[in-house]
């Protein structure tokens, strides 16, 4: 049984994290460190899950709703935290809640915030949230006609979930045309049945995360991701090659502006549509000359921003997520947030974000400590017990220090102690805030 908080809300002792990536590896690590938490399962987890003290992999696919419900009931799980966007969009949180479980993660209705770019843009328009102008298209011909009528490069986005790779920020009309052709040729499957064209905005990007019970919210430190594969922010978009927090691009006044102009209006508009959104809202922002504008919303923690942020959060995190899941964030204890700097560098397999080879042994002499973490992502346990690569982004090294120069030095120093065939990484993560 869960121990009650002061006003009767339960404090979770048994937690299940759903997902297999680096985000879920970091969530499991952070939740196991929380006061009162006794056991954490990660379903299905990855090659690094079993090596985390107090975390246990559970071989159930994130898409197996009935299997996850049965496992939660059998293990008397107090709180489920759903990590990835695909099961949220498919209604996993709804299925778990219908079984009487407390879930941190929106239902399928709220997950449309990420699952449909058109739906999200219409919601922003209704809420009066500042964002780029857009045009929706459901056919190749319609999209090309809209592009030609504007006569300038636009941002081209597949409407559905494309694992962070369905966006082209075109520098020319030719590049925009090619992106449209690619989407309607089926590169992203059903995610490309429609698309959104957007005006290009200019300015630095920053991510803001709100933990919410559908009405109230707690804001986490702003973070900045590095999406491009190449140094100097060049080359193809990836799922994210590194991140840092808190991003000084957004100070306390700027964060409050985002709360008032972006997050509170979106929550109110969701409630007006009958959607009780309990989970995290990720606002991807561009800081333009006219103020912050939303590039995208996501319905889950960012990856690798999650790995960057988790070490900065206090041991009240599990109670705060439980209060969000229960619709009672007003009853949660204050979430302690460290004032230190956190830096994350991702190690990818050769060829990423294109086809990559799997099955290469991962070896490391890195010893994690309170200021240095190793989070696995695309890895699995090999037949001989040795961890092997199993994806594009294989792992991340994260470090905390009193300044960014020291944090990145520690993260890159830790990465030097990790080895697998074809390991690649960007050497300039955090170039905006650290000295070369």
pLDDT for the residue numbered 113: 97
Is 50 exceeded by the pLDDT of residue 5? no
Contact assessment for residue 376 and residue 395, using Cβ atoms and an 8 Å cutoff = yes
Both structure tokens of 421: 């065939």
Report the alpha-carbon distance of residue 420 to residue 336 in Å, rounded.
Answer: 36
Both structure tokens of 257: 């502006």
Query: 114 phi and psi, to 5 degrees?
Result: -110, -30
Write the pLDDT tens digit of every residue in 251-260: 999 999 999 9
Write the pLDDT tens digit of every residue in 301-347: 999 999 999 999 999 999 999 999 999 999 999 999 999 999 999 99
Domains of the chain listed by start with CATH number: 3-105 (3.40.50.20), 133-198 (3.30.1490.20), 202-331 (3.30.470.20), 341-419 (3.90.600.10)
pLDDT for the residue numbered 8: 65
Is 50 exceeded by the pLDDT of residue 383? yes
pLDDT category, 434, cuts 50, 70, 90?
A: confident
pLDDT for the residue numbered 4: 45
Is 70 exceeded by the pLDDT of residue 103? yes
Is 70 exceeded by the pLDDT of residue 2? no
Write the pLDDT tens digit of every residue in 41-75: 999 999 999 888 889 999 999 999 999 999 999 99
Share of the chain above pLDDT 70, in %: 98
pLDDT for the residue numbered 385: 80
pLDDT category, 214, cuts 50, 70, 90?
A: very high
Is 70 exceeded by the pLDDT of residue 213? yes
Span 275-281, average pLDDT: 98
Write the DSSP assignment of 92-123 as a string of letters. Answer: HHHHHHHTT--EES--HHHHHHHH-HHHHHHH
User: Going by C-beta distance under 8 Å and a sequence separation of 6 or more, which residues neighbour residue 329?
Assistant: 211, 212, 213, 215, 216, 217, 218, 320, 323
Sign, CA dihedral 379-205-201-275, equals positive
User: Going by C-beta distance under 8 Å and a sequence separation of 6 or more, which residues neighbour residue 10?
Assistant: 2, 3, 4, 78, 102, 322, 326
Report the alpha-carbon distance of residue 323 to residue 81 in Å, rounded.
Answer: 12
Q: Are strands 393-401 and 372-376 parallel, antiparallel or unpaired?
A: antiparallel
Span 101-119, average pLDDT: 97
pLDDT for the residue numbered 7: 57
pLDDT category, 163, cuts 50, 70, 90?
A: confident
Write the pLDDT tens digit of every residue in 387-398: 999 999 999 999
Query: 133 phi and psi, to 5 degrees?
Result: -65, 150
Q: Are strands 14-19 and 79-82 parallel, antiparallel or unpaired?
A: parallel
Choose the weakest-confidence range: 4-13, 175-184, 427-436. 4-13
pLDDT category, 384, cuts 50, 70, 90?
A: confident
Cα separations in angstroms, 28 against 17, 70, 89, 166, 429: 6, 20, 21, 28, 25
Name the DSSP class of 176: H
Q: What is the mean pLDDT of the chain?
A: 94
For residue 209, with 0-12 CB atoms within 10 Å meaning exposed, 13-18 middle and 19 or more buried, which class applies? Answer: buried
**Which helix (DSSP H) or strand (DSSP E) does residue 175 occupy?**
helix 173-184
Both structure tokens of 369: 């400590």
Span 113-134, average pLDDT: 96
Is 50 exceeded by the pLDDT of residue 133? yes
Q: Which of 292, 222, 209, 263 is nearest to 432 (CA)?
A: 222
Is 50 exceeded by the pLDDT of residue 403? yes
More confident residue, 432 or 218: 218
Both structure tokens of 126: 């209704």
């Amino acid at each position: 049984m869960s121990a009650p908080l002061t006003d009767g809300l339960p404090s979770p002792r048994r937690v299940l994290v759903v997902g297999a990536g680096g985000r879920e590896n970091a969530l499991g690590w952070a939740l196991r460190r929380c006061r009162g938490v006794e056991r954490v399962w990660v379903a299905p987890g990855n090659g690094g899950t079993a090596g985390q003290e107090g975390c246990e992999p559970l071989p159930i696919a994130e898409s197996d709703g009935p299997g996850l419900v049965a496992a939660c009931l059998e293990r008397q799980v107090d709180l489920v935290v759903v990590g990835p966007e695909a099961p949220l969009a498919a209604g996993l949180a709804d299925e778990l809640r219908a079984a009487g479980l407390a879930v941190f993660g929106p239902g399928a209705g709220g997950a449309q915030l990420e699952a449909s770019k058109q739906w999200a843009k219409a919601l922003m328009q209704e809420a009066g949230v500042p964002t780029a102008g857009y045009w929706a298209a459901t056919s190749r011909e319609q999209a090309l006609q809209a592009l030609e009528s504007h006569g300038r490069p636009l941002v081209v986005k597949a409407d559905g979930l494309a694992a962070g790779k369905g966006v082209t920020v075109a520098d020319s009309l030719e590049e925009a045309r090619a992106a449209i052709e690619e989407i309607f040729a089926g590169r992203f499957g059903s995610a490309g049945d429609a698309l959104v064209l957007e005006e290009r905005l200019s300015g630095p990007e920053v991510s803001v995360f709100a933990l919410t019970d559908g009405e109230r919210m707690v804001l986490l430190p702003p973070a900045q991701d590095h999406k491009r594969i190449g140094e100097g922010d060049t080359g193809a978009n990836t799922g994210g090659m590194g991140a840092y927090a808190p991003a000084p691009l957004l100070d306390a006044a700027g964060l409050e502006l985002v709360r008032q102009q972006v997050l509170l209006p979106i929550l109110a508009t969701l409630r007006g549509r009958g959607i009780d959104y309990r989970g995290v809202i990720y606002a991807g922002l561009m800081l333009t000359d006219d103020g912050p504008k939303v590039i995208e919303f996501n319905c889950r923690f960012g990856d690798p921003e999650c790995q960057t942020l988790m070490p900065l959060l206090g041991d009240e995190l599990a109670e705060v997520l439980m209060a969000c899941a229960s619709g009672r964030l007003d009853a949660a204890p204050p979430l302690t947030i460290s004032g230190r700097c956190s830096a994350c560098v991702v190690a990818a397999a050769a060829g990423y974000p294109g086809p990559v080879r799997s099955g290469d042994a991962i070896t490391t002499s890195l010893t994690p400590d309170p200021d240095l973490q190793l989070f696995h992502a695309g890895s699995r346990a090999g037949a001989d017990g040795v961890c092997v690569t199993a994806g594009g982004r294989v792992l991340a090294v994260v470090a905390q220090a009193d300044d960014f120069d020291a944090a990145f030095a520690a993260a890159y120093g830790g990465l030097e102690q990790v080895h697998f065939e074809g390991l690649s990484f960007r050497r300039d993560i955090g170039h905006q805030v650290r000295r070369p």
